[in-house]
Amino acid sequence: MDTFILLGSFALLILIGMPVAYSLGLAALVGAIWIDLPLEAVMIQISSGVNKFSLLAIPFFVMAGAIMAEGGMSRRLVAFAGVLVGFVRGGLALVNILASTFFGAISGSSVADTASIGSVMIPEMVKRGYPRDFATALTVSGSIQATLIPPSHNAVIYSMAAGGSISIAALFMAGVLPGLLLGLTLAAYCLYIAKSRNFPKGEPMPIRQALRIAVDALWGLATMGIILGGILSGVFTATESASIAVIWAFFVTMFIYRDYKWRDLPKLVHRTVKTVSIVMILIGFAASFGYIMTLMQIPLKITTALTTFTDNRYMILLCINGLLLILGTLMDMAALILILTPILLPVVKAVGVDPVHFGMIMIVNLGIGLITPPVGSVLFVGSAVGKLPIEQVVKALMPFFALMLINLAIITFFPALSLWLPRLVGV
């Protein structure tokens, strides 16, 4: 009955149109009243949920990504990617993917990736003869790399949802190879399509111009080295690296590139604070919801039920993948990480799945949900940037969905892909 009261009230609030964050908070209050828990305990959990030093990484990474996105970094990354792969047949499609890889390693946000890279690449691809729906679907799919490649905001949220017991640095390193695998898979598909559809072939760039573009882009790309290099060398933590990234992004944008006007800076800060405040409200309410779930022993009950049904690791992972794929189409990624991690992590740990590996499985599953109707935020942004109806973009996305499911299967059943790099560098 406890489970029905808590989860039922949450589901009811969602169905009547209540925002996810407030649904979590109100459901937690309903659950507390049901089990005669003082409401002060819920308030304490909300406060303690956001009172964590590691969560400072989120606003700093969001700010760094926003500064670089609006300061001309996306345009320079596209140009640099063009130098590397733009000369082959279908090269502009490869430029799109590679630019998303670079930008994802700076912003950590799929929405920012789609908006920034898409606004540059989609019109250019259409101008060069690529179908608009293909260009939009490719941009949307490529942006999912940002959920995996460090500095992924979702990795920070997963670490926090797991009670801070999982190293953010380990999650960052675990996402590198899965993220690159996704990019390589998309690139291979684009090369095949380019040949079959006879997409245009780019021209090699003169050496002098290529060097100038590379040097111009390397100022921004150095952000990746600052984030990962600082963490792996032990000079600073993941949270401290985020603050250093903001300072570096500000310096490069305002003093090196100088494309961004000082008078626009307060508006950028306001947008960043608005975004972060929504995330923090969600985290605080999710912490109270998770606390009530723990008191009601809901994670233990689910673990017992699943392990009673089967103790086969792969069957359990298949069931969890199916659940995550379905829920990912219905709710926001951050909210699902916060809700489901306390429930599912004990289940997978009981059958011997590494928590870092499971983090990658969860992020990939929910990343697919970002481009899936009816609530895929990245899908909506891509549709708006590409100036196409959502239905047309979804139709063009079908081959890309198949590729992502293949990637999900590889990441799920070959844990070494996620765990090799963290173990190699000792994080």
Please tell me whether the peptide bond between 151 and the residue prior to it is cis, using omega within 30 degrees of 0: yes
Res. 416: pLDDT tops 80:
yes
CB neighbourhood size of 50 (10 A): 17
- Which residues have C-beta within 8 Å of that of residue 328, sequence separation ≥ 6? 336, 365, 366, 367, 368, 369, 370, 372
Listed by start position, the domains of the chain span 2-425
Res. 356: pLDDT tops 90:
yes
- Cα separation, 402 vs 231, whole angstroms: 35
pLDDT at 138: 93
pLDDT at 368: 92
Task: State mean pLDDT over 113-119.
Answer: 84
247 alpha-carbon distance from chain centroid: 23
Q: Work out the angle at residue 208's Cα, subtended by the Cα atoms of residues 222 and 97, and round it to the nearest 5 degrees.
A: 50
- Which residues have C-beta within 8 Å of that of residue 166, sequence separation ≥ 6? 158, 159, 355, 356, 359
- Taking a C-beta distance cutoff of 8 angstroms, is the pair 301, 7 a contact? no
CB neighbourhood size of 5 (10 A): 17
123-129 own/partner pairs: CB under 8 Å, 24+ apart: 124/78, 124/92, 125/92, 125/93, 125/96, 128/92, 128/200, 129/199, 129/200
State pLDDT tens for residues 284-333: 888 888 888 888 887 777 777 777 777 788 889 998 999 899 888 877 78
Q: Work out the angle at residue 245's Cα, subtended by the Cα atoms of residues 243 and 246, and round it to the nearest 5 degrees.
A: 65
Virtual CA dihedral for 326, 327, 330, 332, nearest 10 degrees?
-140
The DSSP letter of residue 257 is I
Residue with tokens 């599953």: 365
- Joined together, the tokens standing for residue 36 give 């005669």
Res. 71: pLDDT tops 80:
no
Res. 181: pLDDT tops 90:
yes
Q: What percent of the chain has a predicted confidence (pLDDT) above 90?
A: 20
- Cα separation, 233 vs 227, whole angstroms: 10
Q: What percent of the chain has a predicted confidence (pLDDT) above 70?
A: 100
Top-ranked range on mean pLDDT: pick from 80-84, 281-285, 317-321:
317-321
pLDDT band for position 68 (50/70/90)?
confident
pLDDT at 92: 83
Res. 272: pLDDT tops 90:
no
| 134 against 304, higher pLDDT | 134
State pLDDT tens for residues 25-34: 898 898 888 8
